[in-house]
Every structure is written in structure tokens, then in C-alpha cells.
Structure 1
Amino acid sequence: MPLRYLLTGLLGLPLLAAGYLWWTLLSPFGYSPPEALPPIAEGEHRVFVYGTLRHAPLRWVIYGRAGDPQPAILPGYRREGLDITRDIDASVEGLLLRVEAEELARLDRYERLGIRYERVALLLADGEPAWVYRRLE
């Protein structure tokens, strides 16, 4: 009898994880953006990522492809856990993603834009701006 419960738990865990990912990343129920957010402009967007979005399998789950990210540096900031903090003597290593408007909307959903994170334009070491997600207070 205990083996049956163990097997049920082991088989149920992947289904539970898949359900959670669907709810948070793909379903229309897991996130409602705040009404005050500006619309996303059509076309390509540059996004600097420094945390979980550096992992190709996660990007594939979130917006349907791993993309072709390039190494990038955000000068004047340091990483503190899930956020970055202004520090003129530091820099943050990450990846530069190039995404379309629909993909950026999916990244906004993943980051819970307006609830957990804000998306701000900052200059990378190459002198060009990119969107960067920063934790809200």
C-alpha cells in the first residue's frame, strides 16, 4: 500500500509542475497586467536578462524559442539576488535577447510586470538601450 502512494506522488509531481507552469506562463487566468501599463510598440525589442531568463529551456517555455542571445554587460549596476542595484563601480553580466512585441508581452507576464517587476530602458556597455526588469519596492 505505501508503494502505491509513493508512485502516485512521483507521477503526480510532474503534472503538478506542468499545471503550475501553464497557469503562470500561458493561461489567461494567472496574471492580469495593471491597466496603467503602456502598450508595447510593434517591432524588435532588446532585452537584457541577468537571472533565470539566461536559461534557454526557460525562454523556450515562456515565448516559444530559445533565441540567439548575445553576451552583454550592464555597467553601473550590481546584482543583488533577484534584482539589480545602482553601483557606479560595478557591472552585471547577462544576455541580450532580441524579441518581438508578442514575445516581450510573454516576458512581461513571466516577470509579473507592474506587480513584481518594472521594465526600464537602461544603456548597456555597447552604448545602446535595452529593456531591463527591476524589482518593484
Structure 2
Amino acid sequence: MEVDIKSQRRKNHAIKSVWWINGLIILGLVAMGVAGWLWLSMLSPWFYDRPESLAPIENRQHNVFVYGTLRFAPVRWLVMGSTGTPEPAVLEGYRREGLDLKADDDAQVEGLRLEVSADELRRLDRYERLGIRYQRDKLKLEDGTSAWVYRRFPEHETSALHQLKWPLAQLRL
């Protein structure tokens, strides 16, 4: 009887160990997947080529108005390599609609104004896929300062498969 209890305990311990090991493996794979996606999206040389038609970025400090995911310090740190110098800001005459801003005289959008370097602006352009998914417009904020604001291209310009820089997007379906 005592031998059966000991062998049952060993068996239960082995089963728990297998579950823990499998859980750690799955957690590691998920973490590697997230890290890989972040690297591909923000740092890799693939999947985004700055369109040649865009004007070069002046080597100076720039103001950028952010109203979406870039309001969050961890996202800014991942994208720009720093959290920037965020200040609360308001953009009047626009309303937020999903990932975009739409002109609306009676509305305003609350966000942050960041002061960024030319290199940080390049990294923001990459994150927003400037020239492919977003355009960058110079707009006046409520306090009178001018800031770059990323706005989506019209849907028909961004939904075409050939616009993507992914290898599979080059296939003719």
C-alpha cells in the first residue's frame, strides 16, 4: 500500500513537471513570436521602404501630434527608442474615427505633442508606414504650435495587395 502511494506521488509529480515544461515552452514561443513581430515591424530592413517621392527629413527637432497607440510610453519606447517629451495637446477641427482623423469643425482630438529628433521622426515614419498607409501633414494645434500629424490614406489607396512589401504580396492571385 505504501509503495503504491509513493509510486502514485512520483507519477503525479512527473505529470505536473511535464505540464510545467510544456507551459514554459509555449510561453517562450509566444514571447519569441511577439519579439519577432516587433523587430520585423519596427527595426528590420524588410517590409518597408520609404517611398522616394517623400521629401527628406530636416535634421532638427520636430513636433509630432499623436492620438493613438503612440500615446502610451512603452509603445513610444519600442518605436522611437525613447519615450520622447510628451505634453498634452489638442487638435481642433478633427474627430478621431478608428485609426484616422476626419475633418469636423465641431470636434477636437486630445492627444500628446512630442518633440522628436530627425532620427526619431524616421522611426515614427517607419512605424506608421509613411507613404504607404499614412501621410504626414503639418497642422496647427490648439496652443498655436505646428506639429506633424499622421493621417490615413483613403481606404482604396491602402487596401490593394500590391501596396504591401511582403513577399507573398508580390504573387498575382
TM-score tier, shorter chain, comes to: over 0.9
Alignment partners' CA distance in 1, 2:118 and 2:24: 43
CA offsets per residue over residues 24-53 of structure 1, 9 Å max, x none?
A: 101111311111111001101000000000
Higher strand share: 1
Alignment root-mean-square deviation, CA: 1.4
CA offsets per residue over residues 40-89 of structure 1, 9 Å max, x none?
A: 01101000000000000111111111122000000000001111100000
What TM-score, normalized by structure 2, do the two folds share? 0.75
Higher helix share: 2
SS in 1 for 2:31: helix
SS in 2 for 1:122: strand
The runs of at least 4 consecutive aligned structure 1 residues that moved more than 6 Å come to none
Q: 1:34-49 alignment to 2 at 5 Å? A: 34-49=51-66
Picking from 62, 67, 77, the partner of 1:60 is: 77
Picking from 78, 86, 96, the partner of 1:79 is: 96
Is 1:9–2:26 an aligned residue pair? yes
Where do 5+ consecutive residues of structure 2 fail to align? 1-14, 155-173
Alignment partners' CA distance in 1, 2:136 and 2:87: 20
Alignment partners' CA distance in 1, 2:76 and 2:23: 32
Picking from 84, 101, 120, the partner of 2:137 is: 120
1:84 alignment partner AA: L
Is 1:129–2:146 an aligned residue pair? yes
2:117 aligns with 100
What is the CA-CA distance between 1:9 and the residue it aligns to? 2.1
Task: Determine which structure has greater relative contact order: mean sequence separation of CA pairs < 8 Å that are 6+ residues apart, divided by chain length.
Answer: 1
